[in-house]
């Protein structure tokens, strides 16, 4: 797949792109990504667009391990004014709504969002793929074992790579059956996975190429980085750059990140490496 049709806006993914994270809440695991004031949110969005972000991903609810579902009504109250304001300020920006609630996604699309990022892949609300199809929005399908409140309580797999791949194959067949072509797969680093599971998936991401769909890598400042380093989310930007480079080498099409400027530098350097690798 070379392009994604985002409600008529064409996103070229022949080369990898950056998705910038804006958390419209006060509970996400990385404090630097939390914002609630509309002016600050629009300013952050502008900085990300100016730095080269191809997509802005807005979420009104935290999905960190242990987070509770705040419900669609509260999510709407938080995220819809932010999406409206960003769309007014940057009408050409591709805005993604990070939600598993159909009412939230529906209102977000009405206010300017053109991509749906669903951590449940439609498992929580099976109507979500049909909403994406109806509005011609690309649909991000993430793998998650369990749900955020309990997903990190003893996650287990017989073969994590095979099970995630099988999940994506089944989802691909389902999306094909309803006519939804523009889908993106996200292995779900940190969502019902141990440290070993996460690094097994990262080191074998090239396997997902057989799906012939874009793959998103959401590794930015996650616990798989800061916990083994005895650090904090604020301290692991260099580690984030390191794993994002590996993800690019393994075929990731989208990097979902908190730090757009720094990861754009990584992306440009990666492209230079690729341009000169045969010399």
Domain-wise residue ranges, the chain: 3-273
User: Is pLDDT at 21 greater than 60 in this prediction?
Assistant: yes
What is the token pair recorded at 157? Answer: 């797999």
**Distance between CA atoms of 179 and 192, rounded to whole angstroms?**
29
Fill in the DSSP letter of residue 229. T
Place of tokens 């090239």: 206
User: Is pLDDT at 154 greater than 90 in this prediction?
Assistant: no
Q: Between β-strands 9-12 and 3-6, what pairing exists: parallel, antiparallel or unpaired?
A: antiparallel
In which band, very low, low, confident or very high, does the pLDDT at 71 lie, cut at 50, 70 and 90?
A: confident
What is the token pair recorded at 90? Answer: 């940057």
- DSSP letters, 145-210, are SS-TTTTTSS---S-HHHHHHHHHHHHHHHHHHHT---EEEE--TTSS--HHHHHHHHHTGGGGGG
User: Is pLDDT at 105 greater than 70 in this prediction?
Assistant: yes
Q: Between β-strands 216-217 and 254-257, what pairing exists: parallel, antiparallel or unpaired?
A: parallel
Q: Which of 58-62, 191-195, 261-265 has the lowest mean pLDDT?
A: 58-62
In which band, very low, low, confident or very high, does the pLDDT at 156 lie, cut at 50, 70 and 90?
A: confident
Residue from 171, 256, 268, 271 carrying the catalytic annotation: 256
Helix (H) or strand (E) holding 117: strand 115-118
Q: Between β-strands 254-257 and 17-23, what pairing exists: parallel, antiparallel or unpaired?
A: parallel
**Distance between CA atoms of 104 and 204, rounded to whole angstroms?**
34
Q: What is the pLDDT of residue 30?
A: 57
Residue from 44, 78, 222, 250 carrying the catalytic annotation: 222
Place of tokens 């109806």: 134
> Which carries the bigger pLDDT value, residue 62 or residue 85?
85
In which band, very low, low, confident or very high, does the pLDDT at 26 lie, cut at 50, 70 and 90?
A: confident
This prediction's pTM: 0.93
In which band, very low, low, confident or very high, does the pLDDT at 31 lie, cut at 50, 70 and 90?
A: low
In which band, very low, low, confident or very high, does the pLDDT at 155 lie, cut at 50, 70 and 90?
A: confident
User: Is pLDDT at 47 greater than 90 in this prediction?
Assistant: yes
Residue 222 appears among annotated catalytic residues = yes
Q: What is the pLDDT of residue 64?
A: 61
Q: Between β-strands 55-59 and 17-23, what pairing exists: parallel, antiparallel or unpaired?
A: parallel
Q: What is the pLDDT of residues 109-141, one digit of tens each?
A: 999 999 999 999 999 999 999 999 999 999 999
Q: What is the pLDDT of residue 213?
A: 97
Q: What is the rounded average pLDDT of the residues 189-210?
A: 96
Residue 220's alpha-carbon distances to 19, 39, 231, 258, in angstroms, are 11, 24, 14, 6
Residue 256 appears among annotated catalytic residues = yes
Q: What is the pLDDT of residue 272?
A: 94
Q: Which fold has domain 3-273?
A: TIM Barrel (3.20.20)
Helix (H) or strand (E) holding 171: helix 160-178
Q: What is the pLDDT of residue 25?
A: 76
Q: Are 48 and 80 in contact (CB under 8 A)?
A: no
Mean of per-residue pLDDT scores for the chain: 92
Q: Are 101 and 131 in contact (CB under 8 A)?
A: no
Q: What is the rounded average pLDDT of the residues 12-32?
A: 82
């Amino acid at each position: 797949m070379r392009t994604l049709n985002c409600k008529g806006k064409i996103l070229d993914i022949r080369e990898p792109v950056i998705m910038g994270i804006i958390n419209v809440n006060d509970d996400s695991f990385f404090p630097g990504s939390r914002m609630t004031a509309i002016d600050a949110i629009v300013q952050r969005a502008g900085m990300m667009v100016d730095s080269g972000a191809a997509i802005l991903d807005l979420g009104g609810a935290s999905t960190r391990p242990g987070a509770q579902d705040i419900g669609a009504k509260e999510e709407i109250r938080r995220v819809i004014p932010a999406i409206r304001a960003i769309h007014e300020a940057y009408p050409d920006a591709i805005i993604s709504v990070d939600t598993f609630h159909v009412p939230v996604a529906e209102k977000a699309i009405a206010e300017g969002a053109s991509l749906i990022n669903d951590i449940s892949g439609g498992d929580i609300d099976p109507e979500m793929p049909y909403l994406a199809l109806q509005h011609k929005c690309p649909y991000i399908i993430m793998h998650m074992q369990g749900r955020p409140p309990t997903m990190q309580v003893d996650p287990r797999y017989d073969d994590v790579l095979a099970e995630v791949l099988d999940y994506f194959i089944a989802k691909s067949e389902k999306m094909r059956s309803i006519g939804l072509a523009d889908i993106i797969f996200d292995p779900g680093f940190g969502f019902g996975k141990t440290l070993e599971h996460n690094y097994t998936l990262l080191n074998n991401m090239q396997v997902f190429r057989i799906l012939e769909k874009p793959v998103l890598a959401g590794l930015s400042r996650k616990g798989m980085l800061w916990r083994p380093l005895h650090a904090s989310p604020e301290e692991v930007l260099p580690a984030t750059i390191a794993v994002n480079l590996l993800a690019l080498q393994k075929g990731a099409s989208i990097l979902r990140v908190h730090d757009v400027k720094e990861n754009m530098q990584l992306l440009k350097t990666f492209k230079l490496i690729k341009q000169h690798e045969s010399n």
